[in-house]
Amino acid sequence: MANIAFSGEKASEYEVKQSLMTLLADSWEGAFAVDFWSDDGGRIVRAVVECADPNGQLEQSFVNKLPVKYMGWRLIILKVPVGHVKVFFS
State pLDDT tens for residues 20-40: 999 999 999 999 999 999 988
Domains and CATH numbers, the chain: 2-88 (3.30.300)
pTM listed for this prediction:
0.86
- β-bridge mates for residue 36, sequence order: 45
Kindly tell me if the per-residue pLDDT of 77 is higher than 60: yes
Kindly tell me if the per-residue pLDDT of 1 is higher than 50: no
Q: Which residues contact 33 (CB under 8 A, 6 or more apart)?
A: 48, 85, 89
In this structure, the number of other CB atoms found within 10 A of the CB of residue 26 comes to 8
Task: Name the DSSP class of 5.
Answer: G
